[in-house]
A and B are shown apart, each in its own frame.
Chain A
Amino acid sequence: MSDLLLLCALFLMFTLVLGLLRVLRGPEDGDRMLAAQLIGSTGVGVLLLLAAALGQPALVDVALLLALLAALAAAAFVRQPGNPS
């Protein structure tokens, strides 16, 4: 079972690489910020799978922190100098 979980985590990393192509091609700034959100979301998934595969329940707490920090990154992105949001 833990082998299957590790394989699933590897598959998630592959979908992450697919999404990173958008960072290369994205015509706007918002597209690159989308890639950061993708990394946050996929990273939480990978951490949950690793927590199950390696038997480390502490990784679930790491996933929670990553989710909250991803939101912080988006807020920092939109709060650029001169932008009233």
Chain B
Amino acid sequence: MSELVAATMIVAGLFFYLAGSIGLLRLPDLFSRLHALTKADNLGLGLLAAGVAVHAGDPLMAARLLLVWLAVLAASAASAQLIARHARTADPHV
């Protein structure tokens, strides 16, 4: 039963990763691409980490996976803000 739950969460996470990549390809502007990449990929990673935690079944491993997810969240939020600010100040017409 827990294997089924884990597999469902992992496949749902993959779906969000695919949505993020398609958004990266199809959206018209750098800033909207930043949205797609940061939000969709991090949500996909969260579901992926939850699925792996359920599959592992070990609370210490689940805590490590939660830490990885939080670190990726913080890192991508900071990186997105840096990239967006650089794009604005480097090109005054944007």
A17 CB to closest chain B CB (Å) equals 9
- Are A8 and B82 neighbours in the complex by a CB distance under 8 Å? no
Chain A residues with CB under 8 Å of B74's CB are: 71
Chain B residues in contact with chain A, CB under 8 A?
A: 3, 6-7, 10-11, 13-14, 17-18, 20-22, 24-25, 30, 33-34, 37-38, 41-42, 44-45, 48-49, 52, 55-56, 61, 64-65, 67-68, 71-72, 74-76, 78-80, 82-87, 89-91
Cβ contact of A48, chosen from B21, B33, B49, B71, cutoff 8 A: B49
Closest residue on chain A to residue B41 by CB atoms: A41
- Are B11 and A19 neighbours in the complex by a CB distance under 8 Å? no
Closest residue on chain B to residue A74 by CB atoms: B79
- Are B89 and A85 neighbours in the complex by a CB distance under 8 Å? yes
Cβ contact of A18, chosen from B25, B55, B80, cutoff 8 A: B25
CA of A35 to CA of B89, assembled, Å: 20
- Are A78 and B25 neighbours in the complex by a CB distance under 8 Å? no
- Are A49 and B10 neighbours in the complex by a CB distance under 8 Å? yes
Not counting A18-B24, A68-B75, a sample of 12 additional A-B residue pairs whose C-beta atoms are within 8 angstroms of each other reads: A15-B18, A21-B25, A22-B24, A28-B87, A30-B84, A33-B83, A34-B83, A37-B80, A38-B21, A71-B75, A71-B79, A75-B82
Cβ contact of B14, chosen from A12, A22, A61, cutoff 8 A: A12
CA of A23 to CA of B33, assembled, Å: 12
Chain B residues with CB under 8 Å of A5's CB are: 10, 55
B75 CB to closest chain A CB (Å) equals 4
What 1/0 flags go to A10-51 for Cβ under 8 Å of B?
011001101101100000111101100110111011001101
